[in-house]
Amino acid sequence: MHPSLPPSLTNISQEISVGTLTQKAMMASGCKGKDSWPELVGAEGKVAKATIERENPLVTALILHIGAPITQDLRFDRVRVWVNTNGIVTWIPVIA
């Protein structure tokens, strides 16, 4: 058992890497509802945002242009919707 892990995470069978949980382990421990939208690649960013927030009301979808600076923290209430210069979704939106 890792001393810095809360009891609710001690049964996760993922590895601890450099003192932090992997994203996969974090997702398994706290993500509620739908967590990815591969069907939205190629859609308009605004349509994707509305769809994501309708399908999982626990998250807020943020439209970001490719190359925009972001934080590296994992939040279960955020979905980044990456769009190109035409506003089209280019990557699978996932909780991040």
What CA–CA distances, in Å, run from 13 to 22, 33, 34, 52, 83? 11, 21, 22, 29, 34
Helices in 1-96 by DSSP H: which ranges? 23-30, 45-55
Segments forming the whole domain that contains residue 89: 32-95
Q: Dihedrals φ, ψ of 50, to 5°? A: -65, -40
Q: Check: CB of residue 32 under 8 Å from CB of residue 76.
A: yes
Q: How many whole angstroms separate alpha carbon 13 and alpha carbon 50?
A: 34
pLDDT, one tens digit per residue, over 16-54 is: 333 344 445 444 556 778 999 999 999 999 999 999 999
- Asked if residue 73 and residue 36 are part of one domain, the reply reads yes
pTM of the model as a whole: 0.69
CATH of the domain at 46: 3.30.10.10
- Asked if residue 45 and residue 85 are part of one domain, the reply reads yes
Work out how many domains the chain is built from and give that number. Answer: 2
